[in-house]
Each structure stands twice: as structure tokens, then as C-alpha cells.
Homo-oligomer: A and B are copies of this chain.
Amino acid sequence: MASIASKELAANTPGLHTSPDETNKGYLVLQTMFQIKDPKISLDFYSRILGMLLKRVAVPELKFTLYFMSYEDVSLDSSDPVDRTVNHHSYALHDQEFKGYQTRNSEPLDSGHIGITLDDTIKACERFQRLGVEFSKKQLLLLFMPSLSISFVRYAFIKGPNGYWTEICDMTTIGAVVR
């Protein structure tokens, strides 16, 4: 029979830490990223069938476009539904030179990942460094998004178990990109 532990104890859950570090306060799971082959087909499915809204970031010089698909967050103070989509979103990468899907377990690994937003990426990265966390990327966004008119984009990727990546990004950056 299936069993649910209503409250998990570190004692019977090897690896689990039940008292999050102070610096983890305010962390929020924000995005899920995946690759798409044909935007027309994917946009039709996620908008017509599932009713998601779209924010798009095109980076022609690198021949790819990001499609941020998500639902409206009615708790956000805005009259424009599209301005209220800075809640959790699925974010699809379309590479104009699509070479097939990348798995999460072989190179290149710049594919599926989850994204976490927080207040201070720099502080978080300093802590990850102290904890011996492996970084996949750091502040790369600066290099290819000069037109976002963001003075300083803070963003990093850390490598987790099983080869999964986790993106770390300031909420201010998320706002600038998605709004």
C-alpha cells in the first residue's frame, strides 16, 4: 500500500536536511525549461489546448528564441494579464539549428533544467562555492542580451545530482526579462 509521511524526518530519510539554511529563505521555484523543434506546433498546443500566455525573447545573433509560457498570476497588481505572468512558467528553447534533443545526462547539457529565483544571486553563489557545488555557467546572460538594458544581469547554473542543472537568478532579472 502507498504510504504518505505527513512530515518527513531526517532520521528516516537519508540525505534530507530538515532545517533549511537562513540564506535559502525566499527561494522560489520559477521555471521549467525544455527544447522544442517547431514553435508553431508547440505554441498552438500550449496556448490553444492549455491556455498558456506567452512572453518571447528572441536572440537572432545566436539563432535561438525563448518562449516563456505560463498562466496569469491574478495576485500580481496589474490590469494587463500578460504583465501578470511572472509566476511559474514553462520555458521553451527553440534553436534555429535544431540538432535533435539533448538529454540531461550527456554533453552538451545546456538543456532541460529547473529555475530558482532569489534575492541575491552573488551571495547565493558564494555560498554554493563554499559548499563545493559545481557551476555549469555564471552570468552568461550578460554576454548575449545587451539589449535588455539591464545594468547587471545576475544568473548562474549549478550542477545537481544525476546531471540536472538548476538555474539561479535574481527576481529583478526575471522581472526585466519577462516583463
The minimal Cβ–Cβ distance linking A24 to chain B, given in whole angstroms, is 2
Q: With contacts A15-B41, A40-B14, A51-B24 known, is A71 near B177, CB below 8 A?
A: no
| Residue contact B49 to A15, C-beta cutoff 8 Å | no
Complex CA–CA separation, A156 to B97 (angstroms): 34
Confirm or deny: A152 has a beta carbon within 8 angstroms of a beta carbon on chain B.
no
Residues in B neighbouring A6, C-beta threshold 8 A? 82, 179
Given A27-B51, A27-B71: A90 in contact with B114 (beta carbons within 8 A): yes
Copies in the complex: 2
A172 within 8 A of B: no
CB contact list, A41-64 vs B, under 8 A: 41-61
The verdict on A151 contacting chain B, using a C-beta distance below 8 Å, is no
Query: Hey, which chain B residues are within 8 Å of A51, CB to CB?
Result: 20-21, 23-25, 27
Q: Does A8 lie within 8 Å of B162, measured CB to CB?
A: no
- A53→B4 CA distance, assembly (Å): 15
Q: How far does the alpha carbon of A116 sit from the alpha carbon of B51 in the complex, in Å?
A: 11
Chain B CB within 8 A of A78 CB: no
11 further A-B contacts with Cβ under 8 Å, apart from A20-B47, A20-B53, A27-B50, are A2-B57, A2-B61, A2-B144, A8-B56, A17-B47, A30-B88, A32-B114, A42-B161, A48-B131, A88-B88, A112-B112
